[in-house]
Amino acid sequence: MTTLSLSLLFSLLACEPSDGGSVPLDDSGDADTDTDTDADTDADTDADTDSDTDADCELPIDYVDPGDNTINVATGVSPKVWFAGETAADTSELSFTLSGTDGEITGTINLLNGGTGAEFVPSEELARSSVYTWSVETCTDDSTGMKFTTVDGPTPVDTLVDNVYLVDLAGVDWTSPSATVGGIILGQLETQFILVKVQSASEAQVDMVGATAWDRTGAVAQYPCVEAIEFDPASFEGNPAFQAGPVNTSLNAGGFEIVIHEFELSGSFEGDQSAVNNLRIRGYLDLEGLEVGGQDACSALAFLGETCTTCPDDGAESCVLLDVTDPEAPLTDATLDENLDPADYESECL
């Protein structure tokens, strides 16, 4: 079993519930008694009904995607919401609205990962270079009036092939897990970078490959101790926007291995191919069998406000959602060998 070294400082807060009050009844006469009894009965019934309804639905919003004022959004985007509570959502408990210059756009709602999130799938592809406004409301929360702008025209596909882009995980925006927990995980790995390469591209499809990378000599290089991450060819009809994956993979650095379920990359190429904008890395980190400070990882991370969720493949509640964004992943001179064999580097990977 792999053990992570970590010293945690916890602050324990004790909260004392307040006592409720009672309303005395006025029993001064028959007429008053009848009136008071009816009124009290109605009030009690209303209060009980409201209490039951609130208890049945608790869907606080954790975060949304795309966020307000996001640019270079794919025309095939499905706005998503993720919930902070432990109760799974039902489609009857939330609603989405999406509007463009021509008015409101219809669509369907799908639940994600057992109801911990939801997405709105528009009934039509969105227009390029256009501003859209969207909102989501649940039974207990809402995020309204958020705007995003879709990508411009397509980029020439022949200039994309063999381009390699660099993601520095130390500089990404952490949506999930928190930046604190993300820093703990990164601190255990020998790799801090991800390389993303365009293997081939056409008007119909784009084929991407990824790899972890490190900096041991003052220059970023592909990490030789794990194989590259191969994605299936994906539609490129939304050029310059793309999505690669999902695939199941694992990262193994210095004996510390994390299985990643449904690992995927998405973003959009800058018009001159000098960068990938809003490059998003998403998947589920499987912490099963890992320990932090002598206890299982999920129990330890709970003290940092992180809740393990159900893994997509095996149903075990040992996964943490990974969702990070690099606003601009630049073109790099680093190389990515999709055929790298770790067996050729055994001396470096002891």
Over residues 143-147, the mean pLDDT reads 96
Distances (CA, A) of 96 to 33, 86, 106, 120: 48, 21, 9, 7
pLDDT at residue 12 tops 50 = no
* Mean pLDDT for the stretch of residues 180-189: 81
Instruction: Show Cβ contacts of residue 288 under 8 Å, excluding neighbours closer than 6 positions.
Output: 259, 311, 316, 318
Mean per-residue pLDDT for 139-162?
Answer: 94
Does the structure show a pLDDT above 80 at 49? Answer: no
| pLDDT one-digit tens code per residue, 276-286 | 999 999 999 89
Pair of tokens at residue 61: 């919003």
What integer is the mean pLDDT of 163-186? 90
Correct CATH for 61-150 of 2.60.40.3710, 3.30.1330.60, 1.20.1250.20, 3.20.10.10: 2.60.40.3710
**Phi, psi values for residue 54, rounded to 5°:** -65, -40
Q: Which helix or strand (DSSP H or E) is residue 152 part of?
A: none
Does the structure show a pLDDT above 80 at 24?
A: no
The residue with greater pLDDT, 349 or 128, is 128
Any idea where the domains of the chain sit in the sequence?
Answer: 61-150, 157-348
β strands within 202-304, DSSP E = 205-215, 220-222, 229-230, 234-235, 241-253, 256-269, 275-286, 291-292, 295-296
Residue 243 has pLDDT above 60, yes or no: yes
Which of 77-91, 110-124, 273-287 comes out lowest in average pLDDT? 77-91
> Taking the model in full, what pTM does it have?
0.76
Looking at every residue in the chain, the average pLDDT score rounds to 82
- For residue 55, the model assigns a pLDDT of 56
Q: Which residue has the higher pLDDT, 257 or 71?
A: 71
Cis peptide before 240 (omega within 30 of 0): yes
- CA 211 to mean position of chain CA atoms: 20
Percent of the chain with pLDDT over 90: 54
- The pLDDT score that the predictor gives to residue 122 is 97
| Long-range contacts (CB closer than 8 Å, 24 or more residues apart) made by 257-260 | 257/2, 258/185, 258/285, 258/286, 258/287, 258/290, 259/285, 259/286, 259/288, 260/284, 260/285, 260/286, 260/322
**% residues pLDDT > 70 (the chain):** 82
pLDDT band (50, 70, 90) for residue 25: very low
Please report the pLDDT score of residue 166 as a whole number: 98
